[in-house]
């Protein structure tokens, strides 16, 4: 996993054919010399049958991107046609202006009038081993009924609905039901705490919360209803009027329910109408808000709209994954993240795919659970994160060798850059050296894939996301916003609007403009926050983040959020958090903590602080390391020098310490950290 970068840093990495990186060094700018020479072209048989076999698609899309995207939009069902493909008033874009459609109808209604009516839409397996199959007809029926139930609770077009569920079919049903009636959904990952849930409910102003009594994870029940009740306690979410609860994990008689507020999902459906007409939605009407960590600490409510988002989700699903009608497609992401939105629900269902959903952990009850599922259901397209791949590597190939994985024909990677060693392991041991790998770069903000190989025409390189998707104008630029020559490193930007792009940050357009569009002045470049290099073949190599957001197991986590959670503990006076390299998660959270006078620095307190962060923000934010320090390295103006803390945690030579108020603090911290590691 490549280190995350900050402006003014250099990332130098030379990768030999064995995939061994040399340590990073520092100097002005962002530079990389990645010399990966291995090339893996698709087989002739794969190309012949591929959805895209003509390399000319890149040139044609570049010549007229609006025509390219309009052709894809034409594959959707529109209630009224658009009059303009794109209106671009930087930094705001509108796509398919004047067009009317309904997202739910495009994912369901059009399929039930075709041969897909009785095709499996969702194959679900729960961690305990229970399973369900929902055909397109089944899914359409359940979405209609739940949409009617929502309307019966007073939810209307434009209202916000928060969804806090495990990875079960009801999560997709809830999303599609909201889309059917024009409500704006905001899905909160089930691993987040009640505090995080409360913050997102209040920012979005949601009127209704959908949750479950619990969900399964490593043989235990995650108490979602309990966390939801904590979030709503003492009227701390005043906009919430109703809570809908799915009975997933236990006896409903033992689940506390608040009278007149809480409603069982299954009871609502008993009285809901069988049909709910899809709301007529403008192409630019909001579809969902999804919160992602921000460098200021407050999560950003990324707003996606309807027509452009679904157009790009459909296009990338069909072309990136070379999706066929007979495929069994498995994206392992949770719907609490954008990957679950675009590549579990909206893109695949718009394409009429058969989607596998799995609720639990990849190592429960044994470390071969994923491979057992692939064999059991004949999965042919498998899309997962480098975090998972590195864990599989660590566990060993004996778990794969128990199972027949010959149904696989294409593999994907998502969430963070994949290092060449993990890529090659994936290629050899999971794909049997027969499956193309699509390494995809995109973001919550972009909505869909932006840089990815088209598997029928692009030869892949281990560790590279290769080329921008047709119709996407990506570039690597210097500090002035000018393109850097091949081989040089710089900042990854997008030069032109794209259909699936975020439209703003919910209720904070000024932050939207400053965060994404201000770095290069009036050049109107979208700054992705990543460092990148483009090689002589035009392939893109992602070098890591340039901000203070950690990438832990494929999830962006704000250092400020974790620091705020630590300081919230009564024993803590100050905290500084950084991400250090971790062989499985990519980065792990490391915290340097100063306690209040009279507080003993004990291992018990360190454990208590880790648990405190997990309770405040969710277990994914739990620090791996807590190091107590009487002082933190600060500049004379009082700014904590997190760069030096990263150097300490990574075991690197310390950078410039001349601006510190007390340089001896760093030396003491370095000695203490090294002794704690030993």
Phi-psi region of 316 (alpha: psi -120 to 50; beta: other; left: phi over 0): alpha
All structural domains of the chain: 146-279 (3.40.50.980), 549-677 (3.30.300.30)
In which element (H, E) is residue 413 found? strand 410-413
Count of CA atoms in the C-beta half-sphere (13 A) of 556 = 27
CA distance 341 to 640: 37
Phi-psi region of 532 (alpha: psi -120 to 50; beta: other; left: phi over 0): beta
Query: Shortest CA distance to 669 belongs to which of 619, 612, 630, 613?
Result: 630
Cβ atoms of 533 and 34 within 8 Å: the answer is yes
Structure tokens at 86: 């794109």
Q: Residue 526's CB: how many other CB atoms inside 10 A?
A: 24
Give every residue of the chain whose pLDDT is below 50, as ranges: 1-33, 636-637, 658-659
Burial of 393 (0-12, 13-18, 19+ CB in 10 A): middle
pLDDT tens figures, 29-84: 444 435 678 999 999 999 999 999 999 999 999 999 999 999 999 999 999 999 99
Helix boundaries (H) for 552-595:
559-567
CA distance 196 to 235: 16
Cβ atoms of 306 and 103 within 8 Å: the answer is yes
Query: Shortest CA distance to 303 belongs to which of 453, 440, 184, 422?
Result: 184
How many helical (H) and strand (E) elements, i.e. helices and strands, does the chain have? 21, 30
CA angle 285, 289, 290 (to 5 degrees): 145
CA distance 279 to 275: 12
Burial of 39 (0-12, 13-18, 19+ CB in 10 A): exposed
DSSP 306: S
Cross-strand partners of 576: 592
CA distance 577 to 678: 21
Strand order in the sheet with 540-545: 474-477, 489-494, 526-534, 540-545
DSSP 222: E
In which element (H, E) is residue 245 found? strand 242-246
Cβ atoms of 164 and 188 within 8 Å: the answer is yes
pLDDT of residue 16: 33
DSSP 543: E
Cβ atoms of 500 and 308 within 8 Å: the answer is yes
pLDDT of residue 57: 98
CA distance 354 to 375: 16
Count of CA atoms in the C-beta half-sphere (13 A) of 327 = 25
Helix boundaries (H) for 397-508:
420-425
Contacts of 425 (CB under 8 A, 6+ apart): 389, 392, 393
pLDDT of residue 547: 67
pLDDT of residue 5: 33
Phi-psi region of 471 (alpha: psi -120 to 50; beta: other; left: phi over 0): left
CA distance 467 to 451: 5
Whole-number Cα distances in Å, 631 to 593, 594, 610, 627, 671? 9, 7, 20, 11, 14
Cβ atoms of 163 and 185 within 8 Å: the answer is yes
DSSP 398: G
CA distance 233 to 236: 6
Sign of CA dihedral 245, 246, 250, 252: positive
Parallel, antiparallel, or unpaired for β 540-545 and 489-494?
A: unpaired
In which element (H, E) is residue 49 found? helix 44-49
Query: Shortest CA distance to 318 belongs to which of 159, 499, 454?
Result: 454
pLDDT tens figures, 253-273: 889 999 999 999 999 999 999
Cβ atoms of 552 and 589 within 8 Å: the answer is yes
Whole-number Cα distances in Å, 576 to 195, 460, 507, 590? 21, 39, 29, 9
Contacts of 601 (CB under 8 A, 6+ apart): 595, 628
CA distance 7 to 547: 8
CA distance 142 to 148: 10
Cβ atoms of 455 and 436 within 8 Å: the answer is yes
CA distance 224 to 196: 13
Task: Give me the residue label for tokens 């027509």.
Answer: 307
Question: Helix (H, G, I), strand (E, B), or coil: what is residue 659?
Answer: coil
DSSP 51-112: S---THHHHHHHH-HHHHHHHHHTTS--SB--SEEEEEETTEEEEEET-EE-HHIIIIIHHH
Burial of 390 (0-12, 13-18, 19+ CB in 10 A): buried
Can you give 558-606 as a three-state secondary structure string? Answer: EHHHHHHHHHCCCCEEEEEEEEEEECCCEEEEEEEEEECCCCCCCHHHH
């Amino acid at each position: 996993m490549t280190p995350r970068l900050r402006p003014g840093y250099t990332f130098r990495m030379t990768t030999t054919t064995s995939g061994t990186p040399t340590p990073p060094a520092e100097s002005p700018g962002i530079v990389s010399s990645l010399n990966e020479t291995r090339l893996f072209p698709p087989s002739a048989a794969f190309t012949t049958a591929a959805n895209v076999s003509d390399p000319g698609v890149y040139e044609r899309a570049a010549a007229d991107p609006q025509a390219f995207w309009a052709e894809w939009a034409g594959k959707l069902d529109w209630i009224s046609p658009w009059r303009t493909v794109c209106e671009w008033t930087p930094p705001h874009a509108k796509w398919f202006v004047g067009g009317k459609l309904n997202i739910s109808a495009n994912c369901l209604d059009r399929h039930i009038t075709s041969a897909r009516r009785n095709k499996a839409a969702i194959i679900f397996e729960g961690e305990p081993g229970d399973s369900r199959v929902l055909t397109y007809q089944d899914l359409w029926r359940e979405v209609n009924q739940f949409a009617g139930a929502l309307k019966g609770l007073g939810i209307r077009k434009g209202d916000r609905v928060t969804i806090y569920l495990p990875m079960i079919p009801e999560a997709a049903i809830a999303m599609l039901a909201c889309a059917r009636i024009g409500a704006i959904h905001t899905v909160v990952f089930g691993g987040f705490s009640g505090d995080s849930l409360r913050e997102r409910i209040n920012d979005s102003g949601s009127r209704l919360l959908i949750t479950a009594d619990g969900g399964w994870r490593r043989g235990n029940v995650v108490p979602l209803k309990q966390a939801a009740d904590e979030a709503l306690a003492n009227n701390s979410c005043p906009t919430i009027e109703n809570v809908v609860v799915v009975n997933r994990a236990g006896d409903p008689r033992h689940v506390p329910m608040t009278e007149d507020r809480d409603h069982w999902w299954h009871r609502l459906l008993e009285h809901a109408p069988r049909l709910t007409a899809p709301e007529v939605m403008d192409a630019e009407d909001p579809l969902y808000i999804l919160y992602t960590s921000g460098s200021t600490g407050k999560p950003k409510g990324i707003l996606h709209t309807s027509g452009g988002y679904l157009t790009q989700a459909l296009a990338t699903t069909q072309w990136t994954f070379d999706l066929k009608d007979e495929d069994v497609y498995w994206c392992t992401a949770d719907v609490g993240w954008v990957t679950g939105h675009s590549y579990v629900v909206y893109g695949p269902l718009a394409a009429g795919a058969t989607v596998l959903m799995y609720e639990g952990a990849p190592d429960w009850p044994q470390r071969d659970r994923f491979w057992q599922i692939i064999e059991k259901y004949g999965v042919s397209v498998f899309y997962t994160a480098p975090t998972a791949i590195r864990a599989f590597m660590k566990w060993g190939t004996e778990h794969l060798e128990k199972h027949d994985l010959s149904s696989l024909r294409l593999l994907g990677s998502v969430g963070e850059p994949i290092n060449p060693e993990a890529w090659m392991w994936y290629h050899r041991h999971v794909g049997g050296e027969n499956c193309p790998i699509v390494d995809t770069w995109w973001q919550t903000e972009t909505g869909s894939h932006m840089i990815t190989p088209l598997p029928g025409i692009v030869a892949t390189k281990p560790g590279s996301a290769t080329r921008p998707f047709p119709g996407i104008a990506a570039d690597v630029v210097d500090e002035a916003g000018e393109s850097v020559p091949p081989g040089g490193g710089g900042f990854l930007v997008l030069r032109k609007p794209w259909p699936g792009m975020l439209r703003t940050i919910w209720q904070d357009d000024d932050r939207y403009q400053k965060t994404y569009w201000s770095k290069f002045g009036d050049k109107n470049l979208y700054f992705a926050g990543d460092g990148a290099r483009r090689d002589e073949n035009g392939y893109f190599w992602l070098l890591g983040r340039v901000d203070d957001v950690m990438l832990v197991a494929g999830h962006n986590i704000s250092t400020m959020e974790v620091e705020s959670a630590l300081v919230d503990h009564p024993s803590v006076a100050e905290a500084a958090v950084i991400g250090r390299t971790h062989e499985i998660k990519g980065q792990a959270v490391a915290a340097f903590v100063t306690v209040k006078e009279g507080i003993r620095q004990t291992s018990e307190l360190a454990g208590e602080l880790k648990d405190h962060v997990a309770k405040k923000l969710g277990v994914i934010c739990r620090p791996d390391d807590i190091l107590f320090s009487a002082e933190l390295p600060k500049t004379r103006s009082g700014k904590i020098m997190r760069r030096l803390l990263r150097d300490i945690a990574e075991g690197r030579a310390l950078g410039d310490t001349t601006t510190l108020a007390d340089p001896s603090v760093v030396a003491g911290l370095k000695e203490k950290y090294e002794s704690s590691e030993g």
